Amino acid sequence: MSAGYFPKRTKVGLEDLFSGLVTASHILHHHGILDAYGHISVRSPDNASTFWMPCNMPPALVSTQDDLIEYSVDSAEPVEKDAKQGYLERFIHSEIYKRFPAVNSVVHSHCSDVLPYCISGVPLKATIHMAGFLGNNVPLWDISSHYPSGSKHDLLVRSSTLGASFSATFKPATSASFIYTKMRSALPAQIAGTTPEPSHLPDHLVVLQQSHGFTTAALGIEEAVYQAIYTKEAAKAQTTALTIQNAHTGHVLEGKVDVEADGKIKSAKVKAEGGLKYLSEKEAHEAWEAMQGTIARPWALWCREIDVNALYKNQCPAGEDE
């Protein structure tokens, strides 16, 4: 499927890629990451200059190889001239693949649990160990200052210009950073290949989009699905914690008393008691390192959940794992 695809294996065929991409679309729908909108893609294991993603249809209804389109990374145009209609925002995927050669899978979502952090100005941070990949700073990209002259102001990444601006927010690493040293820790050399240059990897694995949603980039499909699901879970946990904190904690008025003015407060500020504790940078990094080695476990569960749900049909031919 792509470098980093679990279970670990030395050879990845297109049949595995097609079946895995359909499965991933179903899992993301089942977990509320995608609804009728949103999408996942994967870079081709045979040709790094192309990637695959479903055609313009609800992710839950993707079922066969015929529902998938191969695109050029460079142009975001279909490789086949007679391809079905694709997603308008495929430029999100193509420009991330173009900027970061080590990224092999991308998920774009409008998940309602994450949207408040795309609107409120409250930063989304790693609050739980399952989402250490969020780190201490999840960037928020605002499309409003990047529209080309004469373009539609509809918040959609509908061009390579907008896609390039958005992908730059993930920022290429400039040193042997956390992502460089930790992101590949669970991957065997046979399928991960040679260690990628730091500039081939993003500094951030998740970027929020103002009033729109979020996008996550990963080395493989399973990691991308994991990151998308636990971005949602982290957002839910943070929202609940903030709600409890605001309802429970008291506020103390601190200031100077002006004795000559009948004891009136001369200058004061309101100080909240208590505070939300986020993961430290070290905790976030090392928690993600630990969780990377376990991604096969939830993946197996998620596959079984959709296997027993009649809504989802995966009619792609069986690959070599069968």
Comparing C-alpha atoms, which of 91, 105, 2, 90 is closest to residue 46? 2
Alpha-carbon span 121 to 112, nearest angstrom: 16
Active site residue 77: no
Beta carbons of 62 and 54 less than 8 angstroms apart: yes
Q: For the chain, how big is the Rg over CA atoms in Å?
A: 22
Alpha-carbon span 110 to 118, nearest angstrom: 10
- Share of residues in the chain with pLDDT > 90 (%): 69
Catalytic residue selected from 89, 95, 222, 223: 89
Label residue 267 by pLDDT band (50, 70, 90).
low
Total-model pTM: 0.85
Domains defined along the chain, listed by start:
14-240+279-307 (3.40.225.10), 249-277 (no CATH)
The DSSP bridge pattern shows strands 264-272 and 206-209 to be: unpaired
Label residue 151 by pLDDT band (50, 70, 90).
confident
Mean pLDDT of the chain: 85
pLDDT the model gives residue 193: 43
